[in-house]
Structure 1
Amino acid sequence: MFVENIMTREVLHVGPEASFSQVSEIMRLKKVRHVPVIDQDRKVLGIISHRDVQRAQPSMITTLDVGEVKYLLSKITAADIMHKSVVSCSPRTQIEEAARMMRPKKLGCLVVVDDAGRLVGIVTSVDLLDFFLDITGCWVEGATRITVKLQDRAGQLAALLASVNAQGGYIVSVVSPRTPQSEGLRTATIRFEAKDAGAVVQGLREAGYELSVDQTA
């Protein structure tokens, strides 16, 4: 699946000449934490985060009076506080790759641009979290979640899924990553629906699977 499937397309943005107060109001009223800065051709010039706005505000212990503070803030523009080094991706970037781009630098978002560098969307860490919840079946009410240890050999996962189906379970989601630390074993976390989840679990145990029932939604 690609970034274009989860990104926000209607992105709130500003021009480089936007005032500090305009940027601050957009973030406050629209409850967003990142605002791209674009030119007239929608090409991305930079990005402003909620932290950038906080850093630009005067300290609470400032000796300036209210009038002086307002005057200084009126001189600050989006171009003054934006990050010019913007990490971006294309709409056809795989979601996993987008996450790999964000995680090492602890980025809260990626700007999504077309081949000409024009803004077409934004993908945030919240979007990635929602995607993770979707693919793990967390939103499916009534599903039973089991965790099974398997030998890391071809056919083991397929056999487990076939056994779940044979016992009357309908697979909702499967997560079974293979990691360098697996040491010959891998963990399969499966969510399934069934009229009698207990009977499915019992049938799997009788078939020789060691499993734990972690959660029944």
Structure 2
Amino acid sequence: MYVETIMTSEVLMVEEDTKMSHLAGLMQAKRIRHMPVVNGAGELQGILSHRDVQKASPSDITTLSAGEVNYLLAKLTAKDIMHRKVISCAPDTLVEDAACLMREKTIGCLPVVKDGKLEGIITSIDLLNFFLDITGCREVGAARVVVRLEDQKGVLSKLLACLDDLGGYVVSVMTPQHQERDDAGIRNAIIRYKADNPQQINEQLKERGYQLLSEVLPDL
């Protein structure tokens, strides 16, 4: 799946000459933590975070008068406090590649740029929602089982075929590679599926020799 399928397309952005006094109120009112900065042609020039705005704002213990504070804020613009070296990605970037980039660079968002112009933005919340979707954990009525399998070719497909034969509809499958193993050649499959009687299917899986490490039945 590509970034363009999960990114936020309607991005709140500001131009370089936006006053500092307007930035803080705008970010607070819209409850956003990142704001791209563009020029008049819509080309990405930088990015602001709520921390950048906070750092640029006078401290509560400042000795400046209200008039002096307002004067300084009136002079500051987005261009003065934005980060110019922006890490971005293209709309056709794979979601997992974007996640790896954000993790590697320890950043909370990625502007999505095409031909120099801002197309959208992907945040850690977007990635979290994507993760929740692919795990199927928000699928109402789905059962969850963790099945212990030999880490060999064809073993997982046999399990899924068995579930299908027993009347289960598979919602999601995950087989993490970076998991703690108590012995070599073993892998756990985390499966969510739907069925009229998931408890019965779990028992039938056990009868067919599968070891279920955990079982979570749906709330009826």
Deviations 1:32-52, CA, capped at 9 Å, x for gaps: 111101112211110001111
Give 1:106's aligned amino acid. Answer: T
1:51 aligned onto 2:59:
no
Instruction: Give, as a single letter, the amino acid of the residue that structure 1 aligns with 2:153.
Output: A
Report the equivalent of 1:213: 215
With structure 2 as the length reference, what TM-score do the two structures score?
0.94
Q: String of CA shifts for 1:116-149, please: whole Å, max 9, x gaps.
A: 2111110111000000001111111110111112
Give, in angstroms, the shift of residue 180 of structure 1.
Answer: 8.2
Task: State yes or no: 1:167 paired with 2:166.
Answer: yes
Does the 8 A contact of 2:141 with 2:194 survive in 1?
Answer: yes
Deviation at 1:181, TM superposition (A): 6.0
What aligned pairs does 1:6-21 form with structure 2 within 5 A after superposition?
6-21=6-21
What TM-score does the superposition give when structure 1 sets the normalisation length? 0.95
Conservation of the 8 A alpha-carbon contact between 1:47 and 1:83:
yes
For 2:66, give the aligned amino acid: V
**How far did 1:179 drift?**
3.5
| Residue 110 of structure 2: aligned partner | 110
Give SS of 2:190's match: strand
SS in 1 for 2:12: coil
> Deviations 1:171-210 (Å, cap 9, x if unpaired)?
0111113348654222111000111010010011111111
Matched-pair contact (CA < 8 Å) for 1:24–1:53: yes
Q: How does 1:179-194 map to 2 (within 5 A)?
A: 179=178, 183-194=184-195
Identity %: 50
Provide the secondary structure at the position in 2 that maps to 1:135.
Answer: helix
- Indicate the residue corresponding to 1:34 in structure 2: 34
Q: How many residues align?
A: 216
Q: How does 1:189-200 map to 2 (within 5 A)?
A: 189-200=190-201
Match of 2:147 in 1: 148
- State the one-letter code of the partner of 2:211: E
Match of 1:73 in 2: 73
What RMSD over aligned residues (CA atoms) do the two structures have, in Å?
Answer: 1.4
Partner of 1:86: 86
CA deviation profile, 1:64-120 (whole Å, cap 9, x unmatched)? 122221111111110111011101000000000000000122211000000x21111
Q: Which runs of 5+ in 2 are unaligned?
A: none
> Residue 178 of structure 1: SS of its match in structure 2?
coil
Q: Which residue of 2 aligns with 1:122?
A: 121
Q: Which amino acid aligns with 1:172?
A: V
CA distance in 1, matches of 2:59, 2:24: 16
- Uncovered stretches (5+) of structure 1, i.e. residues with no partner: none
Q: 1:214, CA displacement in angstroms?
A: 3.8
Greater CA deviation, 16-25 or 117-126?
16-25
Counterparts of 2:171 and 2:203 in 1: how far apart (Å)? 19
Would you say the 8 A contact 1:109–1:124 is kept in 2?
Answer: yes
Using the TM superposition, give the Cα deviation of residue 216 of structure 1 relative to its aligned residue in structure 2, in angstroms.
3.0
Deviation track 1:3-50 (CA, whole Å, cap 9, x = no partner) reads 000011111111111101221122111111111011122111100011
Which residue in the other structure is 1:176 paired with? 175
